[in-house]
Amino acid sequence: MENKIKSGLFGVAIGDALGVPVEFKTRDYLRSNPVQDMMGFMCWHQPPGTFSDDSSLAFCTAESLCKGFDIEDMAITFVKWMEEGYWGAHHKVFDIGGTTRHSLARVLKGEPARTSGNFFEEDNGNGSLMRILPLVFHLHKEKDVEVIYQKVKEVSSITHAHFRSGFACFIYVIYCLEILNEVDKIEAYKNMQKIVSDFLSAKKFNPVEIQLFDRILKNNIAEYPEENIHSSGYVLDSLQASLWCFLNWNTYEGTVLKAVNLGGDTDTTAAITGGLAGVYYGMDNIPEKWIATLARKNDIDDLCERLSLKVK
């Protein structure tokens, strides 16, 4: 498990760091100027290997899970990042999403984590999906899908409490759990579809919301042409784009570079994609030069070791 935790978390942070310099660049621009290696500066004026809010909040999630599952502690850990740059690449915060900022401001004022999140339809950015991966390791022995759903929902809801965000995280977690079992990624995708569909058949969720996930759950997202795959900051776009990249490319490097070069919310699309690809392909498939450039790699190593001892 320690190897998977490590390749998953490094996978998130390296994807994130590859995307940071070109955040907001369009797909057209990146078609002519593709990212092929770790770069620095440009968009956020950060040195190469700098990860952003996506990875910092994923590390905060992992840090909190090292003590056990407690969303109040997790929310306070997120606030520590927002206020003090805890788990910042250079101990600072240079970017934060609106929904996350509003929700964590409530936590800071004393609101409990179970009611701190924004819950309107417009609060469905990718801000909880980008930090959910560590929960997979906490849940790796959990067989009850209902328990998995509730825990994923609670963790998402600290900031992103709308159904759609929680459900997107749930699909991602179920898929990662299948990949952890080392089944083939296409088999794992089919397993995920079956597990989620079986779960849904016993639920009375709003069918309008569930239909939004038809591309992923009823069809094969990998088969859509690139022009139908969007890479904005909207949670549904990010989930589709990450699955699409992961299913269509066969190395860690190719998968995350494709995610970055889709443009738009480059760092987050690549962080979410990089988590899947990291877990699946393992540390040996992540280019060594990228690991060497990554900020705080020794701290990340230490965090992975502590989390693996807790969840083994």
Residues that bind Mg ion (CB under 5 A): 52-54, 267
The token pair at 192 is 């995920």
Nearer to Mg ion (CB atom), residue 117 or residue 127: 127
Nearer to Mg ion (CB atom), residue 39 or residue 174: 39
Q: Which residues contact 221 (CB under 8 A, 6 or more apart)?
A: 215, 240, 243, 244, 247
Nearer to Mg ion (CB atom), residue 125 or residue 191: 125
d(CA 293, CA 283): 15
The CB-of-6 to Mg ion minimum distance in angstroms stands at 21
Long-range contact set of residues 290-293: C-beta below 8 Å, sequence gap at least 24 = 290/14, 290/17, 290/18, 290/38, 290/49, 291/10, 291/14, 293/17, 293/38, 293/48, 293/49
In this structure, is the dihedral angle defined by the CA atoms of residues 187, 193, 196 and 198, taken in order, positive or negative?
Answer: negative
By beta carbon distance, the residue nearest Mg ion is 52
Find tokens 């690809």 and name the residue.
277
The CB-of-211 to Mg ion minimum distance in angstroms stands at 29
The CB-of-53 to Mg ion minimum distance in angstroms stands at 5
Nearer to Mg ion (CB atom), residue 177 or residue 236: 236
Residue 198: count other Cβ atoms within 10 Å of its Cβ.
10
Nearer to Mg ion (CB atom), residue 154 or residue 267: 267
In this structure, is the dihedral angle defined by the CA atoms of residues 122, 146, 311 and 3, taken in order, positive or negative?
Answer: negative
Nearer to Mg ion (CB atom), residue 8 or residue 210: 8
The CB-of-172 to Mg ion minimum distance in angstroms stands at 17
Identity of the residue numbered 184: D
The CB-of-45 to Mg ion minimum distance in angstroms stands at 14
Do residues 50 and 14 lie in contact, with contact meaning Cβ atoms separated by under 8 Å?
A: no
